[in-house]
Amino acid sequence: MTGIASGKELAEEIKADVRKRVGELVGGPPCLCVVLVGEDPASLVYVRGKGRAARACGIESRELRLPASVREPELLRVIDDLNRDPGVHGILVQLPLPDHLDPARVALALDPEKDVDGLHPVNLGRLVLGTPGPLLPCTPAGIIELLHAYDVPVEGQHVVIIGRGVTNGR
């Protein structure tokens, strides 16, 4: 393949497929809950986009906003409540977090089965071993989907990934 691969058409196809499959689920649509701590402008835009995309696919989208001053025990209690809520199927804690919060402790508090970004150590281990759990980190999964759609061979290739994210850099 030469040139630039556009993912717009593929994204629309995937959304249509997801919307169809969500509509066929018994018991109603799944629910994604995004936890946003603080008022980081880029995070606000990103979270709004996630909610819009989820709703476009027929997925319920909830957003919990906490002040930047929230103390870690309170944030961990909120995550624990979401872990135990049977009406919440996926949890995403928007990064970056304010400096006084430990992202590793927050990731560890997530139920690995509800960890949408794949940041819990169990899910990171699965990713490194090549045996991902039920939820895949969206950016790496999207890249692989795009490469497959354009029939780009990846086995034996050298790849450069520019980024510092926990899952994207792996």
DSSP class of residue 122 equals H
Residues in CB range of 46: below 8 A, 6 or more apart: 94
Active site residues: 50, 94, 117
Please measure the distance between the N-terminal and C-terminal CA atoms of the chain and give it in whole angstroms.
24
Cα angle 121, 170, 133; round to 5: 45
**Tokens found for residue 87:** 């009406």
The pair phi, psi for residue 34, each rounded to 5°, is -100, 130
The closest alpha carbon to 138, from 22, 70, 76, 46, belongs to 46
Whether 76 and 105 have beta carbons less than 8 Å apart is answered as yes
